[in-house]
Amino acid sequence: MRIPIFGRIKHGGIIISGILLSSLLFAACGNGNTLDPQGPVASSEAGLFWFILIVATIVFVAVEGMLIYSIVRYRARPNTPEPRQLHGNDTLEIIWTVAPSLFLFAVLAGTIYTMFQLQQPAGNHIEVQAIGHQWWWEFKYPAQNISTADTLYVPKDTVVQVDLVSNNVIHSFWIPKLAGKTDDIPGHNNHVWFKADQAGTYLGICAEYCGTQHAHMRFNVVVLNSVNDFNTWLSSEQQTAQTSTNALAAKGKQVFSGAGGCGGCHGIVGVNIANWSDNNTTTGLPVTSLVGPNLTHFGSRSLIAGGVLAASEGHTWMDDPACSVASGHIADKAKCGLYQWLHDPQGVKPGNDMNIGQLTDDQIDALAAYLESLK
Ligand code: CUA
């Protein structure tokens, strides 16, 4: 007799290999790979994943093995009597009740052990607020009194405590190689911590659906080599905005403050905010009501709008060759993300808060020169 399930195995094989291959492909997505942890928090979490996978594999192989053995060994054949029936066998009943409980207790123990390991170590740490906006991340360093966007800077080998804040919807803060997902809930301040073993740039993602542009809410975590490098970065961030002597940049500053209307949503310290601790803009608006990122050091950034646009590989906006305004005009409008953003922010990222009137190319050239001068 032909058992139908065996007739499908060829197909099943193709489907299973397909799934395995695609999971391998996704696993190879370098910077988002949770199984390549680069710090103690992600390592513990990856360790728990492997532990549960091993337990689940043992259960799977044992159960499926017995199932397949029974199907083959006790299949119906001509002239064979009905096999011995096991119903009511107390020993077997006890074994298959106790064995799964043991496996589940092992998983519980592993999980509780990991939870204890994930307590934030006492002692020195850096505190950062990660504020989830729709749809980009603001990073505030309360002790240092600065605010930046899209890129979180930290030194390596240092405990970073991240206070998760949202005043809109629930987001989820996730740095796959450094720390698992933690929800960012309005009215409830969550915390997560991480430590990076290696300097480098790590991908951060919003991992909770938070609206149409949820997928475009990425950020970078730049891990600097030492606390000294970090302090150097902090003190340059704490400066007020540079005033460029370039005529085009000066024109851009006028567009920012005037016709562009940028100052209604964005703050630049030294321009429409007097200093980093000032709570009001020069127009009397409370700084907290500004819905866009603080642009004081925009030129030194490389991402905008939740990572939907990036400067050319390895460049910041101020040295992006495509966005160079050395000739008085943006060098390559098609390749310059900053141009595309200022030209049509709703086309690039529909539904975002940047609703502006159409700027002329001349205004954009000037704004780009100005923004790039904000180092
Ligand atoms: Cu924020 Cu998804």
Per-residue pLDDT of the chain (375 residues; tens, 9 = 90+): 444 444 455 566 667 777 766 665 555 456 888 899 999 999 999 999 999 999 999 999 999 999 999 999 888 888 888 888 888 889 989 998 999 999 999 999 999 999 999 999 998 999 999 999 999 999 999 999 999 999 999 999 999 999 999 989 999 999 999 999 999 999 998 999 999 999 999 999 999 999 999 999 999 999 999 999 999 999 999 999 888 888 899 999 999 988 878 988 999 999 888 888 888 888 888 888 889 999 999 999 999 999 899 998 989 999 999 999 989 998 999 999 999 999 999 999 999 999 888 999 999 999 999 999 998
Which protein residues touch ligand 1 with a CB less than 6 Å away?
A: 132, 135, 171, 206, 208-210, 214, 217
Ligand 1 centroid vs 191 CA: distance in angstroms?
17
Ligand 1 centroid vs 90 CA: distance in angstroms?
53
Q: What number does the ligand 1 atom closest to the CA of 171 have? A: 1
SS3 177: coil
Give the global pTM: 0.85
Per-residue model confidence (pLDDT) at position 5: 47
Ligand 1 centroid vs 306 CA: distance in angstroms?
10
Ligand 1 centroid vs 182 CA: distance in angstroms?
12
Ligand 1 centroid vs 218 CA: distance in angstroms?
9
Contact 48, 42 (CB under 8 A): no
Ligand 1 centroid vs 212 CA: distance in angstroms?
9
C-alpha–C-alpha distance, residues 212 and 130, integer Å: 20
Q: What number does the ligand 1 atom closest to the CA of 135 have? A: 1
Residues in the chain: 375
Per-residue model confidence (pLDDT) at position 158: 95
Question: Of all protein residues, whose CA lies closest to atom 1 belonging to ligand 1?
Answer: 171
SS3 178: coil
How far apart, in Å, are the Cα atoms of 323 and each of 99, 141, 207, 252? Answer: 64, 29, 31, 14
Per-residue model confidence (pLDDT) at position 1: 44
C-alpha–C-alpha distance, residues 77 and 72, integer Å: 11
Q: What number does the ligand 1 atom closest to the CA of 170 have? A: 1
C-alpha–C-alpha distance, residues 197 and 219, integer Å: 19
Angle, CA 149 vertex, CA 147 and CA 152 arms, to 5°: 85
Ligand 1 centroid vs 174 CA: distance in angstroms?
10
Q: What number does the ligand 1 atom closest to the CA of 207 have? A: 2
Minimal CA–CA distance to 148: which of 49, 271, 237, 250? 237
Q: What number does the ligand 1 atom closest to the CA of 214 have? A: 2
Ligand 1 centroid vs 294 CA: distance in angstroms?
20
Q: Which residues contact 356 (CB under 8 A, 6 or more apart)?
A: 260, 261, 262, 345
Per-residue model confidence (pLDDT) at position 32: 83
Per-residue model confidence (pLDDT) at position 301: 92
| Four-point Cα dihedral 21, 24, 26, 27, nearest 10 | 170
Contact 272, 240 (CB under 8 A): no
Per-residue model confidence (pLDDT) at position 361: 92
Angle, CA 315 vertex, CA 314 and CA 316 arms, to 5°: 135
Neighbouring C-beta atoms of residue 238, cutoff 10 Å: 16
Cβ-in-10-Å burial (0-12, 13-18, 19+) of 31 comes to middle
Contact 268, 374 (CB under 8 A): yes
C-alpha–C-alpha distance, residues 53 and 172, integer Å: 24
C-alpha–C-alpha distance, residues 299 and 252, integer Å: 13
C-alpha–C-alpha distance, residues 245 and 75, integer Å: 88
Per-residue model confidence (pLDDT) at position 7: 47
Ligand 1 centroid vs 208 CA: distance in angstroms?
5
Cβ-in-10-Å burial (0-12, 13-18, 19+) of 7 comes to exposed
